[in-house]
Structure 1
Amino acid sequence: MRLEEADPKGLVRESYRIEGITPGECRSILVDWALSLPLDAPMKDAIRTVMAEYALGAPDHPMSKVLQDGLMTPDAPKRRGGRAARVGGA
């Protein structure tokens, strides 16, 4: 995934430029960032992309920790309905 796709509004980039930003502020920015992604964008791929660009150079920054935590969250369950849900078909 390209950086322009992973951080379309530059929210993560700007968070790394804010002096004295708190973890709570980083979490709030992350929510805004997630909402700015296209619906079909793979969230964890986007997190990995912005981490490669920003977090590697600032491992102690609060946003780096928030992004790392984002990678640890489980994937959203896929909804299965109809016959496939009842009989276990693909």
Structure 2
Amino acid sequence: MPQPASPKDPIDPRGLIREAYVIEGISEPECRSIFLDWAIGVPQGEDTRAHVATLLDRYGPAAPDHPMTRVLRDGLAQWDRTGRRGGRRGRVTD
């Protein structure tokens, strides 16, 4: 099991990601829900991508097959993708 971060961790202040790693039998959909809750809680102006990378570095090596590790990797991949962004702005020119 990965080494849990301090409960006062500024990257995971509510311990959501830490707790996901210790829940026996947690599924990937549950991890996605936890990740979304965590991401919504990141204060505006903070570098969410950097936080995800830090969490992946912290927990990924000890739990490479854990569903939360897959979710964190997927989250990083979303920031690293290039190309068209969705929504109205991607379709309308000014």
Do both share a fold (TM > 0.5)?
A: yes
Whose relative contact order is higher, 1 or 2, with alpha carbons under 8 Å and at least 6 apart? 1
How big is the shift at 1:13? 0.3
Q: Does 4-13 or 62-71 show the bigger shift?
A: 4-13
Residue 49 of structure 1 aligns with which residue?
A: 54
Query: What is the DSSP-based 3-state SS (H/G/I as helix, E as strand, rest coil) of the residue aligned with 2:46?
Result: coil
Query: What is the DSSP-based 3-state SS (H/G/I as helix, E as strand, rest coil) of the residue aligned with 2:13?
Result: coil
On the 8 A contact 1:9/1:36 being kept in 2, the answer is no
1:74 alignment partner, one of 75, 79, 85: 79
Cα distance in 1 for residues equivalent to 2:79 and 2:32 = 17
Larger Rg: 1
> Size of the alignment, in residue pairs?
75
On the 8 A contact 1:8/1:36 being kept in 2, the answer is no
Query: Does 2:27 match 1:16?
Result: no
On the 8 A contact 1:23/1:62 being kept in 2, the answer is yes
2:31 alignment partner, one of 11, 23, 26: 26
Q: CA RMSD in A?
A: 1.8
Which consecutive unaligned segments of at least 5 residues does structure 1 have?
A: 78-85
Which consecutive unaligned segments of at least 5 residues does structure 2 have?
A: 1-5, 86-93
Cα distance in 1 for residues equivalent to 2:11 and 2:34 = 14
How big is the shift at 1:5? 2.1
The two structures have a TM-score, normalised by structure 2, of 0.73
Give the residue type in structure 1 aligned to 2:61: L
On the 8 A contact 2:49/2:79 being kept in 1, the answer is no
Q: Please list every run of at least 4 consecutive aligned residues from structure 1 whose deviation after the TM superposition is greater than 3 angstroms.
A: none
